[in-house]
Amino acid sequence: MTTAETPSLKSYCLDVAERAHRASRQLSTLSTEVKNRWLLQSADALLQHEAEIQKTNTLDLQAAAGFGLTDAEVDRLRLTSDRIAAIAKGLREIAALPDPIGQVIEGFRRPNGLQIIKRRVPLGVVFFIYESRPNVTADAAAICVKSGNAVILRGGKEAAHSSAAIVEILNKTAAEVGLPADAVQLVSTADRDAVGHFLGMHELIDVTIPRGGESLIRRVASEATMPVIKHYDGNCHVYVDRDANLDQAVEIAVNSKCHRMGVCNACESLLVHRDVADTFLPQIAAALAQHDVEIVGDPQTCQRVPAASAATEADWSTEYLGPKISVRVVDDLESAIEHINRYGSHHTDAIVTKDLAASERFTDAIDSAAVMVNASTRFNDGGEFGLGAEIGISTDKFHARGPCGLTELTSYKYVVNGQGQVRS
């Protein structure tokens, strides 16, 4: 772990970024074998040092009340035996994934004999800002290093001790296997200005990935001088088409909304074709009532669902992240598409339909990272997509969209092999 021995905050940050930059140069050509050995030995070391990690974790748990954490938040902070085992398992899973670096994306020979290869390379240095769950520390470090990047970790202060203990183990293993010492650095100061300093260093840091509340992410996106992989929010929709299997629609809407309410790919808004509103709305209202989900709706919904209250214009843009949903009756497929593209956050939107043309039109016209047909919005996830690991979900169209795994942390270079060719 890096310590703040340098005179000022800014020079401390600069030193961290420069170390990361130098480490990234070495990492870019490091063999898969060394990276995997680091992952596997780190997994072993985490298990061996379980008792010490838990002891350190106690310091965070004791401090939690002072940070005003809720019981649920304190629980997420706790590193039980099972959770440490899960972290170790996560590292092993990342070791088992194919190394994206060196992969040839394309290769061809030009008429003049030049052989051109487009080869995957790391981005360089990742600045990762995240909230308090200490397991994310190990996970993010593993994903970044496996994809050949150095990482600067800025974790939540609530998990500071636990994250430091984990990074110490990762770094000790790094020294043993020959991974650059500064491949993984944890920012050791809680000073909020440190983030601002790092966000200005676009010549040393290649990408910033913020994870957390929308206000944090907006701050990072507006201050960052380098590219940012992010999503602000997840106002996800389920649209129940005229030709939907309504039983399936209930199941998909309930799963999308209720499977886990506090996450970005949970459904926040339900659109219902007017031709099925009479039948479907009472069904879904009853099903959502079982999960204590409050309904706000447009006048047509409120007419059919006595428990619903009137939605405001602001509701259509709101990500509730809890037991509340907005519901609107729409005239047709095109109105649904217009509503979603206007109010949604381009994250995940689903249609339930048996009509092939409706499905095709919806997937073509919806401008979102993932468009689901007859499936829950909850499937927009690196694990569910089979990426093996995920550092975030992007709603941007630039560079990476949707779940971001190892490949999304890479760039490419063109390698051109000639036999003396010059341009004429």
The binding site for its own copies (CB under 8 A) comprises 25, 28-29, 108, 110, 114, 116, 121, 123-124, 206-207, 222, 225, 227, 245, 248, 251-252, 254-256, 259, 341, 359, 363-365, 367-376, 378-380, 384-386, 396-399, 401-402, 411-423
DSSP state of 314: G
Q: How far apart are CA 99 and CA 38, in angstroms?
A: 14
Is the distance from CB of 352 to CB of 376 less than 8 angstroms?
A: no
What is the nearest approach in angstroms of its own copies to the Cβ of residue 378?
A: 4
- Residue among 357, 367, 374, 361 at smallest CA distance from 334: 361
SS3 (DSSP) at 122: strand
Tokens matching residue 412: 């490419």
Tokens matching residue 210: 């913020």
> What are the distances in angstroms from CA 389 to CA 30, 156, 184, 272?
20, 21, 18, 35
**Whose Cβ is closer to its own copies: residue 166's or residue 228's?**
228
What is the nearest approach in angstroms of its own copies to the Cβ of residue 361?
A: 9
**Whose Cβ is closer to its own copies: residue 188's or residue 341's?**
341
Q: How far apart are CA 333 and CA 371, in angstroms?
A: 15
Alpha helices, H only, 147-298: 160-177, 193-199, 214-223, 246-258, 274-289
**Whose Cβ is closer to its own copies: residue 79's or residue 244's?**
244
**Whose Cβ is closer to its own copies: residue 81's or residue 225's?**
225
**Whose Cβ is closer to its own copies: residue 155's or residue 180's?**
180
**Whose Cβ is closer to its own copies: residue 203's or residue 331's?**
203
What is the nearest approach in angstroms of its own copies to the Cβ of residue 255?
A: 4
What is the nearest approach in angstroms of its own copies to the Cβ of residue 45?
A: 30
What is the nearest approach in angstroms of its own copies to the Cβ of residue 414?
A: 4
Q: Which residues are 352's β-sheet partners?
A: 240
What is the nearest approach in angstroms of its own copies to the Cβ of residue 318?
A: 18
Q: How far apart are CA 321 and CA 342, in angstroms?
A: 20
Q: How far apart are CA 6 and CA 368, in angstroms?
A: 45
Q: How far apart are CA 414 and CA 117, in angstroms?
A: 6
What is the nearest approach in angstroms of its own copies to the Cβ of residue 95?
A: 21
**Whose Cβ is closer to its own copies: residue 1's or residue 287's?**
287
Q: Which residues are 106's β-sheet partners?
A: 118
